[in-house]
Amino acid sequence: MTLTHDYDLTDDERELAAMVRAFADEVVAPRAYEADRTHTLPLDIVAQMGEIGLFGLPFPEEVGGQGGDYMALCLAIEALGRVDQSIAITLEAGIGLGAMPLFRHGSDAQRETWLPDLVAGRALAGFGLTEPEAGSDAGATRTTARLDGDEWVINGAKQFITNSGTAITRFVTVTAVTGDRGGRPEISTIIVPNGTPGFTVEPAYDKVGWHASDTHPLTFVDARVPAENLLGERGRGYANFLAALDEGRIAIAALATGAAEGCLEASVDYAKSRTVFGSALAGRQGIQFLIARMQARVHTARLAWHYAARLRDGGRPFKTEAALAKLVASEAAMDNARDATQVFGGNGFMNEYPVARHYRDAKILEIGEGTTEVQLLLISRSLGLEEPARV
């Protein structure tokens, strides 16, 4: 369901969006409830996503990709997020946090070793940034890596790491303090293959939502990897991640828009079919107005992320626009999930209905890839507002 115009998509973009939407309806949606109920990521669906080229969308053809751009990737994420946020975030994190840092900053040897399977969807990788004391303030990283001869020795812990413990996860890239630069920690990124002695993928979290998304805490106790596993320039790990985070906010905005639209579509269908006091629920003006506001949120969120993606793909600054898109779309997803649950009444509280899953899943959209408060801070700074004094 969209408005009458096509949001200025190209023919190729419309074809891609329609293809992924059909895949979501025919393959992903029928499995979504069971995957959520059992907390299981269906790897056969991940494999099919790889086969139709989704994991290769933003990568050039010379590395096995589809030669697309960020707009193409986000169109796919939106279409998947409409029916299953767990599958959508698996794709988003698999590319934005797994394959893309390797593509941009990896050595020729690293890319040759790891990239082909990631781009083809045959493998996944995680990015270990968040720690118990370092989330939005990632500069507070406590994980350390020191050189001992020709090896990095890593000690520390990470939490909330997506795609880190699946049967096809090949490695995680972790941020770690590798030294000191003028009294400030030098933060680098290092590839740690799964199975490395001293590297433990702890049991999966029991989460409120995104049940089928693979998420684990990680621990490192004298975990040793070769010195050449340094990803990119030493001391540039945090800076490189911040650049990826801006793009990730557009992708999360696309996912949130898809979730908001999924709630809208379900509400329209349910309101038309549900009879209350002898008439269709859809005939009641209160329900009509509520659903109209849901459509307004979807439309606004989509315009916001489309604009940010176009800026990014055009090589123009997009940091503020990404923050705006993420803020607007994540709030749209939460608001639409709440309103859809109200439209469904008691059925909206039952997990077999998609709106119930969206209600649980949507909250993390206001937290991951930078909290709502972080987005507000970024937007405020772009307006030239003074940073509050520290107390």
Kindly state whether residues 299 and 254 are assigned to the same domain.
Answer: yes
Kindly state whether residues 378 and 245 are assigned to the same domain.
Answer: yes
Band of residue 276 on the pLDDT scale cut at 50, 70, 90: confident
Q: Is residue 4 part of a domain?
A: no
Q: Are 71 and 310 in contact (CB under 8 A)?
A: yes
Rounded average pLDDT over 272-281: 86
- Among residues 92, 171, 167, 168, the alpha carbon closest in space to that of 128 is found at 171
Q: Is residue 297 part of a domain?
A: yes
Rounded average pLDDT over 220-227: 98
**Domain stops at, among 123, 149, 164:** 123
Q: Which residue has the higher pLDDT, 282 or 84?
A: 84
Mean of all residue pLDDT scores within the chain: 94
**Residues belonging to the chain:** 391
Using a cut of 0.85, tell me whether the model's pTM lies above it.
Answer: yes
Kindly state whether residues 187 and 317 are assigned to the same domain.
Answer: no
Q: Which of 61, 92, 369, 386 is catalytic?
A: 369
**Domain stops at, among 123, 140, 158:** 123
Residue 115: which residues within 8 A CB-CB, separation 6 or more? 63, 64, 99, 102, 103, 106
Q: What pLDDT does residue 125 have?
A: 97
Kindly state whether residues 176 and 145 are assigned to the same domain.
Answer: yes
Q: Are 329 and 354 in contact (CB under 8 A)?
A: no
SS3 136: coil
Q: What pLDDT does residue 136 have?
A: 61
Residue 25: which residues within 8 A CB-CB, separation 6 or more? 83
Band of residue 390 on the pLDDT scale cut at 50, 70, 90: low
Q: What pLDDT does residue 388 have?
A: 59
Band of residue 242 on the pLDDT scale cut at 50, 70, 90: confident
Kindly state whether residues 82 and 172 are assigned to the same domain.
Answer: no
Kindly state whether residues 254 and 224 are assigned to the same domain.
Answer: no
Rounded average pLDDT over 108-121: 97
Q: What pLDDT does residue 200 have?
A: 98
From the number of C-beta atoms within 10 Å of its C-beta (0-12, 13-18, 19+), residue 157 rates as middle
Task: Say whether 369 is catalytic.
Answer: yes
Kindly state whether residues 118 and 131 are assigned to the same domain.
Answer: no
CA 242/CA 127 separation, integer angstroms = 13
Least confident of 1-15, 114-128, 286-300, 319-333: 1-15
Rounded average pLDDT over 139-156: 94
Q: What are residue 116's phi and psi, to 5 degrees?
A: -55, -45
Least confident of 209-223, 246-260, 273-287, 350-364: 273-287
Full domain range(s) for residue 49: 11-123
pLDDT beyond 50 at 13? yes
Rounded average pLDDT over 363-381: 94
Number of domains in the chain: 3
